[in-house]
Chain A
């Protein structure tokens, strides 16, 4: 019934109203048109030769479509290594942060104990601490203890996402009814087990949202990677792309450069195409760091 009403409503275009909105349409369409035009051009350039790029004939594909740009970016410019590293960092960090944050958020929202309030405020303060305040001691400590390589970045990404993730999940656990645990306790289920098999699945939507944000955050992270990725073997995509740009002067392979750009932005771009509603709702609903 509701659906039918909607269809009827859609057919009736109120032209007078639309006309009054015209300036708004124009402004938005110009802005988005600009975005679309340059994304399209970048994809076009990634399939063209350097000469076509310089002569300004990118979207005509006069010499055919050059997929070999992707092959050269992937193989000779090390994008495969950067890509694998970023994927590893993002997947492991997203899992690790949930394993730490979900239990903590549950306990903080459910039980009264000494230091509960302090810890909640500590988490909120930690969310606004700028990374310049923490890099130097971490750098000196990890150098002295000889902690480096991929494991260092993974641990950093996990720990640095703990405050925002815990704060986000706190609110969701607080909305769950206590009857779940009471029923579990009556049936003889220990509280820790009740958490993993009953409570955690109940906040699954929140976990999915926060994991999307953590994934985007780790994939796009740049500052920590620039400082702590000490060799090419552990460099993620952001810093890797900077290295490719810096090497451009010597290679001159513009097609390969744009192919690398496309490879780097494609994963989060695709994620966004499928999940934009959820991501947008998460930005305004959850108070996630931007």
Chain B
């Protein structure tokens, strides 16, 4: 047993150090930072001055931050509806007895595997390009006028569209695994009783997918709070009001942005804590919802 003790300690220690170094210590310090006035992120603790909830009231009074939150909300709601609807649609199609199911499934999931930076570059430089872009060519073939997809009016929706395209596959896989767990005899019995495909979907598939839908909404919400890369790619040099999201706001306030040398690590920490609280709330709400009727089948 003594031998085991030494082994346990040796085996667990590196993992413990990793947890403490990149999770425990940074999280505690970030929470502390959000209550202090700190200019530079590298400032020593002795240079911090207690600020109470000042950072929070400052960010919530900042119109840029409110805009960032509003954009995040739009991404969550509009993007969520489209992504999860497409994902569910594809999941239902792929489990309906279609041929080449494995190939289709792999092809739809593909954008999740390739570098998102490369994917975003392809969308920006090709699909949305106003000179030779794919979308304007398609519009032109129908005799329609091209749209400036990357102009101020359309940029947000262009970004969201590209993001949805990349995200659908992941949620589709989760839906597929949920649908495949539903026993086939339920559908067979319904078919014998004369229910058509739509009725089967509404009366059998949807109710039994409640838990999976909940999981997907949770994942989508957490995914949205971390939204950064696509916004950075669509406004690579200077942050723009059309594409700003909270993580971009945090990045700019902590590390500085073009034409703005003022830095505020305290406010940045407050943004981080706000996002973390949102994630905790999402988990709490989702675990409270639908808890009682978790179906066993």
Q: How far is the CA of A129 from the CA of B134 in the complex (A)?
A: 38
Contact A140 B41 (CB under 8 A): yes
Interface residues of A in 175-203 (CB under 8 A from B): 190-192, 195
Known A132-B271, A136-B272; judge A28-B30 contact (CB<8 A): no
* A258 part of interface (Cβ distance < 8 Å): yes
| Residue in A41, A101, A163, A271 whose beta carbon sits within 8 Å of that of B23 in the complex | A163
Contact A280 B105 (CB under 8 A): yes
A residues contacting the other copy or chain, number (CB 8 A): 95
* B70 part of interface (Cβ distance < 8 Å): no
Q: How far is the CA of A269 from the CA of B273 in the complex (A)?
A: 36
* B132 part of interface (Cβ distance < 8 Å): yes
Q: Which residue in chain A gives the minimum CB-CB distance to B89?
A: A27
| Residue in B4, B41, B125 whose beta carbon sits within 8 Å of that of A191 in the complex | B4
Dominant secondary structure of chain B at its interface with chain A = helix
Contact A131 B23 (CB under 8 A): no
* B209 part of interface (Cβ distance < 8 Å): no
- In this complex, the member of B23, B131, B255 whose beta carbon has the largest number of chain A beta carbons within 10 angstroms is B23
Contact A290 B11 (CB under 8 A): no
Q: In the complex, how many angstroms separate the beta carbon of A74 from the nearest chain B beta carbon?
A: 15
* A172 part of interface (Cβ distance < 8 Å): no
* B88 part of interface (Cβ distance < 8 Å): no
Q: How far is the CA of A269 from the CA of B254 in the complex (A)?
A: 35
Q: In the complex, how many angstroms separate the beta carbon of A218 from the nearest chain B beta carbon?
A: 11
Contact A290 B115 (CB under 8 A): no
Name the B residues within 8 Å of A220 (CB-CB): 114-117
Q: How far is the CA of A104 from the CA of B265 in the complex (A)?
A: 35
| Proximity bits, B16-40, A CB within 8 Å = 1, else 0 | 1011011111110110010000000
Mark the stretch among B152-160, B230-238, B285-293 that contacts chain A.
B230-238
Mark the stretch among B73-81, B172-180, B187-195, B200-208 that contacts chain A.
B172-180
Known A140-B41, A264-B117; judge A104-B12 contact (CB<8 A): yes
Mark the stretch among B50-58, B60-68, B94-102 that contacts chain A.
B94-102
* B7 part of interface (Cβ distance < 8 Å): yes
Name the A residues within 8 Å of B3 (CB-CB): 190-191
Known A119-B12, A134-B23, A272-B113; judge A38-B126 contact (CB<8 A): yes
Name the B residues within 8 Å of A285 (CB-CB): 177
Q: How far is the CA of A41 from the CA of B271 in the complex (A)?
A: 40
Q: In the complex, how many angstroms separate the beta carbon of B83 from the nearest chain A beta carbon?
A: 12
Q: In the complex, how many angstroms separate the beta carbon of A36 from the nearest chain B beta carbon?
A: 8
Interface residues of B in 87-144 (CB under 8 A from A): 89-90, 93-94, 96-99, 102, 104-119, 121-122, 124-127, 131-132, 134, 137
Contact A100 B275 (CB under 8 A): no
Known A163-B23, A191-B3; judge A265-B125 contact (CB<8 A): no
| Residue in A56, A101, A159, A258 whose beta carbon sits within 8 Å of that of B125 in the complex | A258
Q: How far is the CA of A279 from the CA of B102 in the complex (A)?
A: 12
Contact A265 B132 (CB under 8 A): no
Contact A257 B125 (CB under 8 A): yes
Q: How large is the interface on B (under 10, 10 to 19, 20 to 34, 35 or more residues)?
A: 35 or more
* A53 part of interface (Cβ distance < 8 Å): yes
* B279 part of interface (Cβ distance < 8 Å): yes
Q: In the complex, how many angstroms separate the beta carbon of A276 from the nearest chain B beta carbon?
A: 4
Contact B94 A28 (CB under 8 A): yes
Contact A32 B107 (CB under 8 A): yes
Known A32-B107, A132-B271, A132-B272; judge A283-B26 contact (CB<8 A): no
Q: How far is the CA of A113 from the CA of B7 in the complex (A)?
A: 12
Interface residues of A in 15-31 (CB under 8 A from B): 17-18, 20-21, 24-25, 27-28, 31
| Proximity bits, A27-52, B CB within 8 Å = 1, else 0 | 11001100111110110010000000
Q: In the complex, how many angstroms separate the beta carbon of A226 from the nearest chain B beta carbon?
A: 8
Name the A residues within 8 Å of B237 (CB-CB): 246
Q: In the complex, how many angstroms separate the beta carbon of B26 from the nearest chain A beta carbon?
A: 4
* B82 part of interface (Cβ distance < 8 Å): no
Q: How far is the CA of A68 from the CA of B289 in the complex (A)?
A: 58
| Residue in A104, A129, A191, A271 whose beta carbon sits within 8 Å of that of B27 in the complex | A129
Interface residues of A in 118-143 (CB under 8 A from B): 119, 122-123, 126, 128-140, 143
16 additional A-B pairs beyond A53-B132, A56-B132, A264-B118, beta carbons within 8 Å, are A17-B97, A39-B122, A128-B283, A135-B254, A136-B33, A136-B268, A143-B42, A159-B22, A216-B113, A223-B229, A237-B117, A238-B116, A242-B236, A257-B121, A272-B106, A280-B106
What are 22 of the A-B contact pairs (CB < 8 Å)? A20-B197, A32-B107, A37-B134, A54-B132, A107-B11, A122-B23, A130-B272, A130-B275, A132-B271, A133-B276, A136-B30, A136-B254, A140-B42, A159-B21, A159-B22, A220-B115, A238-B117, A245-B121, A246-B237, A258-B125, A280-B106, A283-B174
User: Residues of A with Cβ closer than 8 Å to B?
Assistant: 17-18, 20-21, 24-25, 27-28, 31-32, 35-39, 41-42, 45, 53-56, 58, 99-101, 103-104, 106-108, 111, 113, 119, 122-123, 126, 128-140, 143-144, 156, 158-160, 162-163, 166, 190-192, 195, 216, 219-220, 222-223, 226-227, 237-239, 241-242, 245-246, 254, 257-258, 261, 264-265, 268-269, 271-272, 276-277, 279-280, 283-285, 290
